[in-house]
Amino acid sequence: MKSIINYFKEIFTGLRSLLQGMKVTGHYITHPKEIITQQYPENRDTLKMFERFRGEVVLLHNENNEHKCTGCSACEVACPNGTIEIIPKRVEVEGHKVKAIDQFVYHLQMCTMCGLCIPACPTDAIVMANTFEHAVFDRSKLTKILNKPGSKIMDGIK
Amino acid sequence: MNWLYDFSYLTRSIHESLAETFEPTTVTIIEMALAGVCFMILFALLGLVLVYAERKVSAFFQQRLGPMRVGKWGTAQTLADVIKLLMKEPLMNKNADRFLFNLAPYIIMIASFMAMASLPFAKGLQALDFDIGLLYISAVSSLGVIGILLAGWSSDNKYSLIGAMRSGAQIISYELSVGLSLLTIVVLTGSLQLSTIVESQANGWWIFKGHIPAVIAFVIFLIASTAETNRGPFDLAEAESELTAGFHTEYSGLKFAFFFLAEFANMFILAASGATVLLGGWMPFHIGGWEGFNGVMDYIPPIFWFFGKVSFLIFLMMWFRWTFPRLRIDQLLTLEWKYLLPVSLMNIVLMAFLSLMGWHF
């Protein structure tokens, strides 16, 4: 007797779980506003990338063309595949010879967008930008120098 | 506009105008050719519309947009696909059985063509109306499995053969449930003739008049017919993730298109036979006693009722396909032999009892 009850119970629980699944997909088809697909080239002007999207590494500059990079090479060490190359130089500040960056070289073609360089930076000089249109016709254009010409380190950053 | 409500005027006038100029034998041949052309056009249209509908519906079920580029809202996408398939090279394995390999798509097509012939599309719009119509449909629609088995056998590919064997096991099993669930309603109608079955629903569809057993029969029919079309959660014969494409792995170009078309045509045929038997076919929605309401419902032409019901059932099948995960072969057979078959046998006894006591409307 118990097995017969279980048999019908199984049928009804099975049907119920099927209906639950259909309810989920039924919600999707009746809510076309929740569609995730982006019509990319058409909506290029209005498309907003997500905040957390990792597109490329940028070195932040303020309006006086100053950045926070001390040239400590922590990002270069943190990078798993040699994307970042710091070329340092010695500058004289108040009579001392201090290490600073000459060139912050960033090889976009090697970057896997893992983002490990961002937390490695002790002065929060670099961030991940959410740009994504990186296609170029010349491979050499992918090797970028992130510090702008003539830029220098911000005051008080050591 | 009168012909839209009763097609027998139209067919009779065509017949009479032909009979004036030709002898009776020639008239029959011409009429058969005309019906064949009509079915071919219907087939092509069904393929175009259903493929587009399937892609769009599946997209919306998965929060996607589906085809959007070719034509407004991607409406010309299927046409573009047809052109692409026509231009593809028909490839064949070196060791394939040439004759059977080429024969298989045509057998599948012919099976669905034959089943289409006896469907009542609207009042007086039925190519073949004979007294075993329902039996004929269920017999002919299962012929397609021979084509699938041939395709799997002749391809010289292990995946094709496994897919074909699965499909054979599946259709032999689920044929029973489809037949029994339709038979449940035949208990009430007392006839297998499709036109009589439709006429018997003039005062209400069987799904409402037959109480609980009819609803159970409807559910069983939906599940079993989804399995019989090799779709949805029962697409083990193709099982992209395990068998690449199952029985049609080795097919390309036009022959592949035939398999594709036959799948959608079979879906249409099963939905149409289900709609005819359980949902009243082309009969408008009537409630006994409500004359005004019935008059309004009669104003909608029967052909729209028929295609509306069929598209509702097809939508349900698509809903199943894009919601449920695929069954394993042992689960598939368990579902049929341990659940659907006993339940439908019990159901038919219940329906017989109900009909004996006169508890249905």
Q: Would you list the DSSP string of A17-86? A: HHHHHHHHHHHHHH-GGG-----TTTTTTT----TT---EEEE---TTSEE------HHHHH-TTS-EEE
B213 vs B232: CA distance, rounded Å: 25
Residues of B in contact with A11 (CB under 8 A): 339, 343
Task: Give pLDDT, residue B267.
Answer: 87
Residues in chain B closer than 8 A to A9 (CB atoms): none
The 8-class DSSP code of residue B122 comes to B
The DSSP bridge partners found for residue A107 are: A143
Predicted local confidence at residue B142, as pLDDT: 79
Residue among A113, A114, A105 nearest A76 (CA): A105
Res B360 pLDDT > 70: no
Residues B222, B210: Cα–Cα separation, whole Å: 17
CB B121 within 8 A of CB B306: yes
Residues of A in contact with B320 (CB under 8 A): 22
CB-CB under 8 Å, A21 with B61:
no
Give me the pLDDT at residue B3, please.
64
The answer to whether A37 contacts B60, with C-beta atoms less than 8 Å apart, is no
Residues of B in contact with A25 (CB under 8 A): 61, 319, 322-323
Residues of A in contact with B57 (CB under 8 A): 29
Torsional sign, CA B164, B169, B174, B176:
positive
* Distance (Å, whole) CA B80 – CA A123: 56
**In chain B, domain spans:** 92-357
Nearest to residue B112, comparing CAs of B75, B152, B140? B140
Going by C-alpha positions, the residue among B142, B314, B152, B112 that lies closest to residue B239 is: B152
Instruction: Return the residue of B nearest to A42 by Cα.
Output: B69
Q: How far is CA B258 from CA B43, B55, B60, B96, B196, in A?
A: 11, 18, 26, 19, 33
B33 touches B27 (CB < 8 A)? no
Q: For residue B259, how many C-alpha atoms fall within 13 Å in the half-sphere facing its CB?
A: 30
Residues A115-122 have a mean pLDDT of: 88
* Angstrom distance (rounded) from CA A88 to CA A90: 7
Question: Residue B64 is nearest to which of A25, A26, A37, comparing CB atoms?
Answer: A37
Which residue in chain B has the smallest CA separation from A10?
B339
Q: How many residues does chain A have?
A: 158
- Alpha carbon A92 to its chain centroid, in Å, reads 35
Evaluate if residue B307 carries a pLDDT over 80: yes
* Closest CA relative to residue B1, chosen from B301, B297, B285, B284: B301
Kindly report the number of other CB atoms within 10 A of residue B230's CB atom. Answer: 26
CB atoms within 10 A of CB A93: 10
Q: Would the CB atoms of B324 and A18 count as touching at under 8 Å? A: yes
Choose between A117 and B283: higher pLDDT.
A117
| CB of A69 closer than 8 Å to CB of A153 | yes
Q: Is the pLDDT of residue B13 over 70?
A: yes
The rounded distance, in Å, linking the Cα atoms of B302 and A144 is: 70
What is the strand order of the sheet A143-145 is part of? Answer: A84-93, A96-107, A143-145
Q: Is B339 on the interface with A (CB under 8 A)?
A: yes
Chain B hits for A37, CB-CB cut-off 8 Å, are 63-65
Contacts of B60 in chain A (CB under 8 A): 28-29, 32, 35
Instruction: Compute the residue count for chain B.
Output: 361
Q: Rounded to an integer, what distance in angstroms lies between the CA atom of residue B352 and that of residue B355?
A: 5
Band of pLDDT at residue B361, cut at 50, 70 and 90: low
pTM score over 0.90:
no
Q: Among B2, B4, B7, B3, which Cα is nearest to B195's? A: B7
Structure tokens that stand for A92 in this block = 């004289």
Among A8, A28, A30, pick the best mutation site for testing chain B contact (most B Cβ within 10 A).
A28
pLDDT of residue B2: 65
Residue of B nearest to A26 (CA): B61
Taking only the tens place, the pLDDT of each residue in A3-53 is 889 888 888 898 899 889 889 888 888 888 888 888 888 888 888 888 888
Residue B228 distance to chain A (closest CA, Å)? 19
Kindly identify which residue of chain B lies nearest to residue A12, measuring between CA atoms. B339
ipTM: 0.71
Search chain A and give the residue with CA nearest B322. A25
Asked if A39 has any chain B CB less than 8 Å from its own CB, the reply is yes
**Is pLDDT at B127 greater than 80 in this prediction?**
no
Say if residues B121 and B41 touch (Cβ distance below 8 Å): no
Secondary structure class of B69 (helix, strand, coil): coil
Task: Identify which of A61, A57, A54, A55 has the alpha carbon closest to the alpha carbon of residue A106.
Answer: A57
Quick one: average pLDDT of A60-82? 86
pLDDT at B308 over 70: yes
From chain A, pick out residues whose CB is under 8 angstroms from the CB of B62.
28
Give pLDDT, residue B289.
67
Return the residue in A9, A16, A17, A35 with the most chain B beta carbons within 10 A, the one to mutate for interface testing: A35
- What is d(CA B312, CA B280) in angstroms, rounded to the nearest whole number? 13
Chain A interface test: which of B55, B62, B63 (most A C-beta within 10 Å): B63
Cα–Cα dist B283/B305, whole Å = 7
Minimum-distance CB partner of B60 among A18, A21, A29: A29
Of A15, A29, A39, the CB nearest to B68: A39
CB contacts of B324 in chain A (<8 Å) are 18, 21
Residue where the block lists tokens 């990186």: A134
Look at A29 and B68 and tell me if their CB atoms are within 8 Å.
Answer: no
Report chain B residues whose CB lies below 8 A from the CB of A21.
323-324
- Whether the predicted pLDDT of B315 surpasses 80: yes
Distance from CA of A50 to the nearest CA of B (A): 18
